[in-house]
Amino acid sequence: MRFATELNEVLETYQGASATVIYCDADVAHTETFTYADLPLKLSAKGGGGTDFKPPFKWIEENMISPVCMIYFTDLECSSFPPQPDYPVLWVIVGGAGQGVPPFGESIYVTSE
């Protein structure tokens, strides 16, 4: 999985950091927190079905997490966005380049290789 490769690089570079992966479709299906000690990561997607962008943001708030940032991997096949959070959000949009632009944060579009 491409995301696991990128996350491995982040945790390799910032060895004191941790990363929480939130698996979400229309609801949060599962969460996992990783550190450098967990490398190499092998992620296994959970859930499946419709998409709603709000649940991961709500989960962060309910669990009183103060993220440095959020990196949201998505095909952008949804228009249900939460209010803008007080932390930076990077939308990594895979295969959804024709779907528009999220209402907040920075966006990058990734093409399939």
Rounded Cα gap, residues 70 and 10, in angstroms: 13
Residue with the larger pLDDT of the pair 47 and 3: 3
> In which band, very low, low, confident or very high, does the pLDDT at 113 lie, cut at 50, 70 and 90?
low
Q: Could you read off the pLDDT of 42-81 as tens digits, one per residue?
A: 898 787 777 899 999 999 999 999 999 999 988 888 889 9
On the question of pLDDT at 31 being above 80, the answer is: yes
pLDDT (average), residues 85-112: 85
The angle at the Cα of 91, spanning 90 to 97, to the nearest 5 degrees, equals 145
